[in-house]
A and B are shown apart, each in its own frame.
Chain A
Amino acid sequence: MRLAMLTLLAAGLVAAQQANAQTQITGAGSTFAQPIYQKWGEAARPTTNISLNYQAIGSGAGINQINNRTVDFGASDMPVKGADLAAHKLMQFPTVIGGVDIIVNIPGVKPNELKLTGAILADIYLGKITHWNDKQITAINPGLKLPHTAIAPVHRADGSGTTFVFTDYLGMQSDEWKSKVGSSTSVAWPVGAGAKGSDGVAATVKQIQGGIGYDESAYAATNHLTTALLKNKAGQFVAPTMAAFEAAAASADWGAVQNFAIDLNDEPGAASWPIESATFVLLPTDPKDANQSGAVKKFFDWGFAHGDDIARSLLYIPLPASVHTAIRAAWQKEVPGTM
């Protein structure tokens, strides 16, 4: 009797294993792209039979992992230089575009009320502007009553592509920032406190009165954070909305860059949001297992073909169709493995 039950149980487990014959792909890196890759992973599984295991450990760590080939693909918001791509035998392609919001926590200030410029942001993070009622801030915010609270700048403590996008923008707006600090996934911040992960920055700014931080628009929207308006290249103060992100993405010149490494910060256009970036995926051109490589391509191909609505719902902008075609051609040429 017992033997019969055990045999039945074993048979059932074996059957379950066999029915579960999915391909599992692993990816690691950008927290910027985590919401969309997770959603794409869940939505693609029924039709493609691919299950995605994605760890949001930060762009810097993601690049490190794919260099060591411990994952199938790496995700980074900072485009890797051509020389490094060749040295580590990687191919780089973008997946979606997203904006970086500025979040603040000032008593009495509602979402999308506070106006800031890139130069003021750079001075805040350099430690030159220390209180919210500084002359430079009150000059552009005539209708707003700003308290004498100390500004508490918050930044990412771990190696983050969002940090790269933000510091790249600050470097464009302030020569002092560019020479003194520079832009990378991890920099020597002159002032402020660090928090681990995008959720850490959001939680820290929410808790500290007078806090200011930078976060992906998806996090800012889902956590209902108080966002600020920024002055763009055309001189207009814009709010971080989908329309503003799309306006910035529309003026991108994809043909002028190598390895799809486009810089979307400070794009021209009256309605453009100034801090924006594409997020990139790194694939090995010499994978150990061509089937895994093919599965990754198949997953992102599904995302390009069917994932646009999911992207928009999470406040990402899908790439233009021409870029999708170019990416597919690059896959065909550089990455082995059938889709």
Chain B
Amino acid sequence: MQQAATIAGLASGRRRTAIGDPIFAALARVAGVFVLLLLGSLILSLFIGGLPAFRAFGAGFLTSTAWDPVHQAFGAAVSVYGTLITSILALIFAVPLAFGIAFYLTELAPAWLRRPIGTAIELLAAVPSIIYGMWGFFVIVPIMSQYIEPWIISLFDGSIEFTLAGMDIQFPEVPILEDLFSGPPFGTGLATAAMILAVMVIPFIAATMRDVFDTVPAVYKESAYGVGCTTWEVMRSIVLPYTRVSVVGGIMLGLGRALGETMAVTFVIGNADRISSSLFSSGNTIASIVALEFPESPAGSLKLASLLALGFILFVISFIVLAISRYLLRPKLKV
């Protein structure tokens, strides 16, 4: 009697597992397909929404610097330029700093200092981006406009002159740098936006780098120290090649955030629809122009189509960035 009951219990248990597995497998498959469907529908809706703009302006849409709601002429060049310049500049500012932070935290800092700084980095990553925008507008922009920008502009445009020990010294006009740093010192502009983006992106890159630097097996580093390598040689020859994949991944993560950042950039970029040679000039990015102009674009208008087309272009830029990162991470063939 007891044996029969046990066998019956076992059989029903097996039946329960027999149903559970296929159901779970099906749910997991649905979840995976859902991601593809979501991505596909996003790309499709952006492309279809932007089609009127592509049809009206053709390939010239990508190179046109117009943005004229009155005469209904729109172009993507200004926004794409702003997006790329601010993101690349932000990375130029952020990557060395983030590397320095990670290097300090893993190699140089005393043990009692590592946890507070690590926590501070993680807290910085959690701050909402609109807070960065407000901080940038009320703290950084006045400093830039009153002290830093006028000083840098005067450094290169030949207006600094003074006498030293009886000699008249005048700073020369430096040709390329003069154009790169010119214009009224608004305080807002591409350079300020790049700085705010750099501050926002540093925590991500630094945290990723620090985590992977810690995963390098101690035996590699110790054997390198054992043959007489300096700390920098260990970092350059052992740690960085070992963590190459994750470091590039962290940088791409930061670049992705910088490309899509909206509110922080909208506050400090100056919102002007033209390309200028100066880094202190106002501009806009794809995200900021969509945020500002979308609410007042009537449904079905050419402006709305242009904004959706800009969104599609941002998607394409992100794909290109992803492709570049894949290329950088290709396995190095060894013979």
A182 x B71 contact (CB < 8 A): yes
Query: Once the chains are docked, how many angstroms separate the CA of A43 from the CA of B299?
Result: 36
Residues of A within 8 A of B184 (CB): 150-152, 208, 210
**Given A61-B295, A61-B296, A150-B184: A209 in contact with B70 (beta carbons within 8 A):** no
Q: Which A residues between 194 and 243 are near B, CB-CB below 8 angstroms?
A: 194-196, 203-204, 207-210
B298 CB, nearest partner CB in chain A, Å: 6
B296 x A209 contact (CB < 8 A): no
B7 CB, nearest partner CB in chain A, Å: 50
Q: Which B residues between 288 and 304 are near A, CB-CB below 8 angstroms?
A: 292-293, 295-299
B296 x A63 contact (CB < 8 A): yes
Q: Which B residues between 238 and 277 are near A, CB-CB below 8 angstroms?
A: 266-267, 270-274
B271 x A152 contact (CB < 8 A): no
A58 x B146 contact (CB < 8 A): no
**Given A184-B69, A188-B69, A207-B142: A193 in contact with B188 (beta carbons within 8 A):** yes
A157 x B142 contact (CB < 8 A): no
B295 x A194 contact (CB < 8 A): no
Q: Does A181 contact B (CB under 8 A)?
A: yes
Q: Output the residue of A60, A188, A189, A210 with the most chain B CB within 10 A.
A: A188
User: Which of B67, B145, B293 is in CB contact (< 8 Å) with A188?
Assistant: B67
B186 x A193 contact (CB < 8 A): yes
Q: Does A336 contact B (CB under 8 A)?
A: no
User: Which of A182, A186, A190 is in CB contact (< 8 Å) with B296?
Assistant: A186
B70 x A196 contact (CB < 8 A): no
Q: Does B68 contact A (CB under 8 A)?
A: yes
A68 x B70 contact (CB < 8 A): no
Residues of B within 8 A of A210 (CB): 184
Interface size class of A (residues with CB under 8 A): 35 or more
User: Which of A150, A186, A190, A194 is in CB contact (< 8 Å) with B282?
Assistant: A194
Q: Output the residue of A183, A203, A207, A209 with the most chain B CB within 10 A.
A: A207
A68 x B145 contact (CB < 8 A): no
Residues of A within 8 A of B282 (CB): 192-194
A187 x B69 contact (CB < 8 A): yes
Q: Does A291 contact B (CB under 8 A)?
A: no
Query: Once the chains are docked, how many angstroms separate the CA of A189 from the CA of B187?
Result: 19
A188 x B292 contact (CB < 8 A): no
Q: Does A95 contact B (CB under 8 A)?
A: no
B186 x A188 contact (CB < 8 A): no
Q: Does B84 contact A (CB under 8 A)?
A: no
User: Which of A60, A150, A184, A194 is in CB contact (< 8 Å) with B272?
Assistant: A194
Query: Once the chains are docked, how many angstroms separate the CA of A183 from the CA of B183?
Result: 26
Q: Which residue of A lies closest to B137 (CB)?
A: A203
Q: Which A residues between 46 and 105 are near B, CB-CB below 8 angstroms?
A: 57-61, 63-64, 67-68
Q: Does B185 contact A (CB under 8 A)?
A: yes
Residues of B within 8 A of A159 (CB): 293, 295-296
**Given A183-B70, A186-B69, A187-B70: A58 in contact with B273 (beta carbons within 8 A):** no
Q: Output the residue of A151, A157, A158 with the most chain B CB within 10 A.
A: A157
Q: Does A292 contact B (CB under 8 A)?
A: no
Residues of A within 8 A of B152 (CB): none
B296 x A158 contact (CB < 8 A): yes
Q: Does B141 contact A (CB under 8 A)?
A: yes
Residues of B within 8 A of A60 (CB): 295-296
A184 x B270 contact (CB < 8 A): no
User: Which of A67, A157, A181, A189 is in CB contact (< 8 Å) with B298?
Assistant: A67
Q: Does B51 contact A (CB under 8 A)?
A: no
Contact with A along B188-217 (1 / 0, CB 8 A): 110000000000000000000000000000
Residues of B within 8 A of A196 (CB): 266-267, 271, 292
Q: Does B234 contact A (CB under 8 A)?
A: no
Residues of A within 8 A of B274 (CB): 190
User: Which of A57, A64, A191 is in CB contact (< 8 Å) with B297?
Assistant: A64
Q: Does B313 contact A (CB under 8 A)?
A: no
**Given A157-B271, A188-B67: A209 in contact with B185 (beta carbons within 8 A):** yes
Q: Does A265 contact B (CB under 8 A)?
A: no
B57 CB, nearest partner CB in chain A, Å: 15
Q: Does A272 contact B (CB under 8 A)?
A: no
Residues of A within 8 A of B189 (CB): 193
Contact with B along A151-187 (1 / 0, CB 8 A): 1100001110000000000000000000001111111
User: Which of A57, A63, A67, A152 is in CB contact (< 8 Å) with B186?
Assistant: A152
Q: Does B224 contact A (CB under 8 A)?
A: no
Q: Which A residues between 140 and 155 are near B, CB-CB below 8 angstroms?
A: 150-152
Q: Which residue of A lies closest to B146 (CB)?
A: A209
B188 x A187 contact (CB < 8 A): no
Q: Does B66 contact A (CB under 8 A)?
A: yes
User: Given A159-B295, A184-B69, A186-B293, list of 10 further CB < 8 A pairs?
Assistant: A67-B298, A157-B271, A158-B296, A159-B296, A183-B70, A187-B69, A189-B272, A193-B272, A194-B282, A196-B266
A-to-B contact residues, CB < 8 Å = 57-61, 63-64, 67-68, 150-152, 157-159, 181-196, 203-204, 207-210
A to B CB contacts below 8 Å, 7 in the list: A60-B295, A152-B184, A152-B185, A158-B293, A188-B69, A194-B272, A207-B145
Please provide the 5 A-B residue pairs with the shortest distance between their CB atoms, ordered closest to farther: A60-B296, A194-B271, A159-B296, A157-B271, A61-B295
